[in-house]
Structure 1
Amino acid sequence: MSKRIYAWWDCLYTQKNIQLNPGNWDFTNNKGPTKFKFDAVTLEAHQKKIGQEKRISFWGINFDTCDFSGKFEHGQIKFSKCSFTKCDLGNGSVWSKAKFNDCKFVSCSFTLAEFKDCFFHECTWENTTFNGGTQLVNTLVSDACGLVNSGYTNLDGAVLDKEGVTAEYQVWRLDQSKAKLSRMLMQGGEHHGDDNAYYTGVKSYLTQAVKAGRSKARFNSVNGPKKKFNKVVGWVLSFELMILSLSGWLNGWGQSIAKPAIFGLAMTLIFAMGYAWEQSSIALGLVKAFDITFLIGYTKHSTLESCMGKQLLYAGNAFLGLWWYAIMVPVLVNRISRVM
């Protein structure tokens, strides 16, 4: 049965069946197939017919309201500059060594799909449905955040009331699926992609893990027994996400050394200008900013005899220095140790 009929949470849900004609994979005279069903058996027969059993490529095809089913494991399939709109690439389908280059996916479903040793390079995503059954085994997605952030679930009030669920519950389930998918994307980027793909996966996983916890707390704050407690947990996790996002931005989620180094230099110079005005000496201002930022001379400058304003300024400088130090040094060590 088509998920367009029963899968009310899916982006393909239309509450009615759509008649799909059998597709033959020959797009010579049809670059925009609409309402077709393409299966692996027909593809294998087409490959044998044209003598491309090991590898076949499709370029510039615009699939609209199409379903793909079966085990696409016969040879390597490559889609380049293709678009998929309202298409079902899941529902038990298995894709092996398939490549999607510069493709666009709009309102497509990947639920219950398995991708093994596949590549999604420079693809764009919009309103994508996936779930815990979506498997990405040794699969590389160059824009992990784009895929995860495009995650869709039905939040239509009328549909949710009919099914007896709440919007908070749906968001929580979606964020859980996003966190699981992000972990697979991070692993795929680590073993098969470049640094940019890997660190994009790191960003996606770290932020989605916190978002999943926050969504669960928000759901329990409405439906759980400890509503006030879970509301506080939700606020704490929002604060954690803010700190994590800011820290990740500063070091490129572990990829950049230059950005935190420039930030540390700029922070030291800014405080040095303030201290230079206080000390009436640029040299003394630089020394003081260096001492406090790197925590090697904080107690030398901040004493109980100092006024409260100065103590707060020194404490703020030391806190920013400690935060910067905690980000800069691990990034440097990680980058060196990964190579060694």
Structure 2
Amino acid sequence: MSGETLVQKIHAGETHKIKGLTFRECDFQGRFHVTSILIFDSCHFVGCDFAYSSWNSAHFRNCTFNASSLALASFEKCEFRGCRWERIGVSGNKTDLKRTFVENPGHLTAAMFSGLDPAKAGEREHACYQWYRLAGTRAHVLRSIMLSHATVGDEHIYFRTVQLHELQRNWARLCEDWYQLRFSRNVRKLMAIAQIPLHGLNLALIWLLGWTNSWGESVSRPSLLLAAVFAIFGTIYSFVPFTPAIGHPWQKSFDITLLIGFTNHNSAGQWPLTLVQDVHAILAVTLYTVFFSTLISKLSRTR
């Protein structure tokens, strides 16, 4: 199907809706650039190839994409809302998204697949190679969607895309390390052994710190966690029988939580209390940093 053929049938300034049609094994090519809005509503794209097609101001609502390829396609000022994705082919660097909104980027990337070379289909190394390469492609696609969502769509979807991208990017590194560990030799295998713990720790820390402020969206969550730290450690200082007894447990918890008087509560020689205070201080510093960085980001960014 040629883009120019469709454009000729659309009048300028009119919304053109295509509803409930099934496109089976269609090859979309050319420029689908209309001067109005083109809406595909509840349509089904089965075995379709969007390679070498360019779309502008096209809206896909409640559509199903099955065994179709978006590789080498370009979408500008387009929307994908309520769409379902099954076995989708996408190229990380060759699927162009500009000011395009994808309502469920996690479902899209989860539906991406990588075919196996028929001549190597039975080889474990080839299957593992395609697996780790697919993880990297998913990260690339999520990055493109994230950059596109920075200018279009609502903030909730944007921060959700940030979460998906950061986790997928770190997961892709672990997948590559696993491949190198299984099938590489000498230096690459040694590098993989050294990098797996670091990349695993990085993934865990990114997930934990991202959760504390809902990946940059929430200011209230780190503030509530900071209040919870104050309450928990205040209770510990009040009821745990430290020696000597703590005279003002809640003031102690307040001082350490807000980092205003940690040095006034030095407990040299009392290792149980010192250990509790150190854990308290680490949690307080982490949440304090996350809270203020999120707040400053919210208040000072350019609109």
TM-score, structure 1 normalization: 0.77
**Which residue is 1:13 aligned to?**
none
Q: Deviations over 1:142-201 (max 9, x none)?
A: 333332333222369x76446895233212322222222222211111112221132123
Q: Which residue of 2 aligns with 1:299?
A: 263
- Alignment equivalent of 1:87, drawn from 34, 47, 50: 47
Residue of structure 2 in register with 1:57 after alignment? 17
Offset of residue 61 of structure 1: 3.4
Query: Which residue does 2:221 correspond to in 1?
Result: 259
Q: Which amino acid aligns with 1:171?
A: W
User: How far is the alpha carbon of 1:63 from its aligned partner?
Assistant: 4.2
Question: For 1:242, which of 204, 213, 216 is the aligned residue?
Answer: 204
Which of 265, 269, 272 aligns to 1:309? It is 272
Report what 1:284 is aligned to: 248
Alpha carbons of structure 1 residues 327 and 107: separation in structure 2 relative to 1, 3 Å: farther
- Cα–Cα, structure 1 residues 269 and 282, in superposed 2: closer, same or farther, change >3 Å? farther
- The alignment covers a number of residue pairs equal to 297
Render the CA deviation track for 1:85-132: whole Å, top value 9, x for unaligned: x43242222211111123333433211111122112233434322113
**2:150 paired residue number:** 190
Listed one character per residue, the Cα deviations across residues 246-271 of structure 1 (whole Å, up to 9, x for unaligned) are 21122111011111111211222111
1:335 corresponds to which residue?
Answer: 298
**Partner Cα separation in structure 1 for residue 30 and residue 251 of structure 2:** 69
Residue 71 of structure 2 is matched in structure 1 by 111
Q: Which amino acid aligns with 1:325?
A: Y
Q: Deviations over 1:29-73 (max 9, x none)?
A: xxxxxxxxx44244345x25xx67853112333445544333212
1:324 and 1:330 map into 2 onto residues whose CA distance is: 10
The Cα of 1:137 is off from its aligned counterpart by 2.0
Letter paired with 1:336: L
Distance in 1, matches of 2:250 and 2:119, equals 63
Contact 1:215 1:234 in 2 (8 A): no
- Whole-Å separation in 1 of the counterparts to 2:262 and 2:16: 66
Contact conserved, 2:121 with 2:127, CA < 8 A, in 1? no
CA contact (8 A) 1:81 1:104 kept: yes
Instruction: Give the Cα separation in 1 of the matches to 2:163 and 2:286.
Output: 19
CA distance in 1, matches of 2:197, 2:120: 26
Cα distance in 1 for residues equivalent to 2:153 and 2:121: 43
Runs of at least 5 residues in structure 2 that lack an aligned partner in the other structure: none
Shift in alpha-carbon separation, 1:126–1:316, aligned structure 2, 3 A: farther
> What letter is aligned with 1:296?
I
Whether the 8 Å contact between 1:153 and 1:174 is mirrored in structure 2 is yes
Distance 1:93 1:163, change over 3 A: farther
Cα pair 1:148 1:204 within 8 Å, conserved: no
Matches within 5 A, 1:128-143: 128-131=88-91, 132-143=93-104
Write the distance in 2 (CA, Å) between the matches of 1:165 and 1:55. Answer: 50
Deviates more, 1:94-103 or 1:252-261: 94-103
Q: TM-score, normalised by structure 2?
A: 0.85
Give 2:260's aligned amino acid: I
Which amino acid letter does the alignment assign opposite residue 303 of structure 1? S
Does the aligned pair in 1 maintain the 2:25–2:49 contact within 8 Å? no
2:282 aligned partner: 319
Give the gaps of 5 or more residues in structure 1: 1-37
What displacement does 1:78 show? 0.8
What is the Cα deviation at residue 244 of structure 1?
A: 0.6
Specify whether residues 270 and 105 from structure 1 end up closer, same or farther in structure 2 by C-alpha distance, changes over 3 A only: farther
Q: Contact 1:71–1:93 (CA<8 Å) still a contact in 2?
A: yes
Counterpart Cα distance in 1 of 2:300 and 2:110 = 31
Q: Give the equivalent residue in structure 1 for 2:236.
A: 274
From 140, 147, 166, give the equivalent of 2:108: 147
